[in-house]
Structure 1
Amino acid sequence: MDISAGIQASLSGRYATALFQLARDERAIDTVSADLDTVRAALAESAEFRLLTQSPLIGRRDAARAVAAAAGTLQLSPIASNFLGVLARNGRLRELGAILRAFKALVAAHRGVTEAQVISAHPLDATQLGALKDRLKARFGREVAIDAQVDPAILGGLVVRMGSRQIDGSIRTKINMLANAMKG
């Protein structure tokens, strides 16, 4: 199964695929990708924007108006602005996080880059991300784009996911393995 077929299996994947195809046809993949990075940052920074995308209490019309205002404030391209409006009018803003991830995976596949999700207990700096990227490239023989996330619950170490592969070097997993060994 190729990446696009796997992505299209989900609702969020179908929306991401439609946006990717439009961006590709309009020769605006880089622009739309940058816009979606801006949206991702806004979701991380603004509790109000997150609430707008997650709350079932906000009606479709109100959500569409609010998304249009947010798109103007974020200075998004017409493609990205219209796409957010479609999500709002269709009641699919709750899928935005999954759509952003799927779109990023489609862009990476289009560019011949493998996407790696890296979870750490603390934010990684540019030097650490660069070293990790080099090690993953050496191990898998492909360019790697890193989607870094922070989850303090892993306590330390890293969890790296690339496609169906997972490398779990987290302290939490090691403690759990030790606890299970002591029980047995």
Structure 2
Amino acid sequence: MYAASREALAQTRSALQGALASSTASAAAGAATAAAAQAGSELFSVVEVLDDQRTLRSALADASAPAAGRQALAERVFGSKVSPVTLATLKAAAGQDWSTQSDLTNSLVQLGREALLSAAADQNQLDTVEDELFRLGRIVAGNAELEQALSDRTKPLAAKREFLSRLLYGKSTAITEALAVQAVGRLKDKAPADAFDALSNLAATQRDRAVAHVRSAAPLSAAQAERLTGILTRTYGKPVTVHVEVVPELLSGLVVRVGDEVIDGTAAGRLAAVRKSLT
């Protein structure tokens, strides 16, 4: 994303946050949660419309047209269909100069996700959502049939989303389900497990945490997990969420990935290094 779109996203995010604050300032308890959840779901729906209607998408992202005209178009099309918070966000987005049309739609998706995660935080569910998304990613990554069912481009999008909804029904929070189901519809060239991992990382970011993906040859005890979390927190200078995946094929030890940094302390990793040095 180029600088212009990054600035546009920042301005639109500020508009969303301001609209949420204004709408719930004098409302009853729980209103902030409901408003954020509604805005997130509505932004996803708006993006689906824009994905299907190229002409409308192009008009809203046309930096050569007056900003006021683009905002008026957004209000005419969506004003009677979405909440005031969502409309304020859309008008703010339409008034920005985006580098590409896809930056506009991708940014609306990003803000929809952030709104839903804000609702999760209001309900003290953010850590649960983060963990559920990570576990979902590991389940999908370990099941080729499930991964194929979610990524198959020959299947109708509605069918894939319904399949995932049935899979998650009663087993996750409503926000985890909404985030995961929406992500399945915008995979493009991304693997489903990677999409769910990205959502889990976004949830951690909302809590101002780094994420450590740990692959272990054997389950970690509570004491081991706590010790590892402490070491990583000191190393990276911020709280770290540790997600552990048990992989017996590693033989012993751990593989720890934080962002692009990978620390391989496994027997399998050492054997692979020896084999590489001999070739």
- Same fold, TM-score > 0.5, yes or no: yes
Q: TM-score, structure 2 length as denominator?
A: 0.48
More strand by share: 1
Distance 1:36 1:50, change over 3 A: farther
Per the alignment, residue 119 of structure 2 pairs with 27
Q: Which amino acid aligns with 2:115?
A: L
1:165 aligned residue: 261
Structure 1 residue 56, shift from structure 2 partner = 4.5
Offset at 1:74? 3.0
| Aligned-CA RMSD value | 3.7
1:61 aligns with 2:158: yes
Stretches of structure 2 that go unaligned for 5 or more consecutive residues are 1-5, 7-105
What is the identity, as a one-letter code, of the residue corresponding to 1:27?
Answer: A
Between 1 and 2, higher relative CO (CA 8 Å, sep ≥ 6) is seen in 1
Q: How many angstroms apart in 2 are the aligned matches of 1:153 and 1:174? A: 13
Q: Say whether residues 1:92 and 2:187 are aligned partners.
A: yes
Contact 2:183–2:195 under 8 Å retained in 1: no
> Are residues 110 and 38 of structure 1, via their aligned partners in 2, closer, same or farther at CA, if it must alter by over 3 Å?
closer
The change in CA–CA distance for 1:40 and 1:144 in structure 2 (over 3 A counts) is closer
Question: Structure 1: any 5+ residue segments left out of the alignment?
Answer: 6-12
Structure 2 residue aligned with 1:144: 240
Aligned to 1:27, the other structure's residue is in SS state helix
Over the matched positions of the two proteins, sequence identity in percent amounts to: 19
Distance 1:85 1:101, change over 3 A: closer
For this pair of structures, how many residues does the alignment match? 170
Which residue type is aligned with residue 170 of structure 2?
T
Choose 1 or 2 for highest CA Rg: 2
Q: Could you give the per-residue CA deviations for residues 115-161 of structure 1, whole angstroms, max 9, x where no partner exists?
A: 11111122222221111112222333322111212233322111112
- Which of these residues, 86, 103, 110, is aligned with residue 17 of structure 1? 110
How many angstroms does 1:113 deviate by?
1.7
Q: Distance in 2 between matches of 1:158 and 1:74?
A: 29
Which secondary structure state, in structure 2, belongs to the residue aligned with residue 92 of structure 1? coil
1:113 to 209, 219, 222: 209
Give the letter aligned to residue 212 of structure 2.
A
